[in-house]
Amino acid sequence: MKREARGDRGRKATGREGEELAVGYLKKMGYVIIERNYRNRFGEIDVIARDRGSIVFVEVKTRGTARFGEPETAVGPAKQKRMARASLLYLQGIKGLEENARFDVVAIKKNDSGLEIRHIKDAFDVEI
């Protein structure tokens, strides 16, 4: 059991580090960060940002090894649906919002040769 707990701490630390890297990257790209780690009854959204005329809901996936595949593959249909529901509740709470919304994924791979950040804009469409 202790082994799992240490692994979980390691994953959480990797996730936090990835979110920090993603936020720095998004800011450099001109995004304005509105909120981080937004939670409601439907789930969590890692980053909510503004990019020109759009509200952007960003999922950050970080991998320290290729053992489990590319980071972005972890954003499957179930995760997309949870994000869509959480984002809809977020948008309903904003009065007078007439902006577009989209879902981006920031995939971060850490390995011996360095860091690779891939930003997938408008990564998926959802139907609720």
Percent of the chain residues topping a pLDDT of 70 = 80
Residue-wise pLDDT for 73-108, tens only, equals: 778 888 899 999 999 999 988 765 667 899 999 999
Residue-wise pLDDT for 16-68, tens only, equals: 888 999 999 999 999 999 999 999 999 999 999 999 989 999 999 988 766 66
> pTM value?
0.84
The torsion of the CA quartet 17, 19, 22, 26, rounded to 10 degrees, works out to -140
CA-CA distance, 80 to 96, in Å (whole number)? 25
Query: Can you spell out the DSSP letters for 99-123?
Result: -EEEEEEEEEEEETTEEEEEEETT-
* pLDDT: which is higher, 4 or 119: 119
Give the pLDDT band (50/70/90) at residue 3.
very low
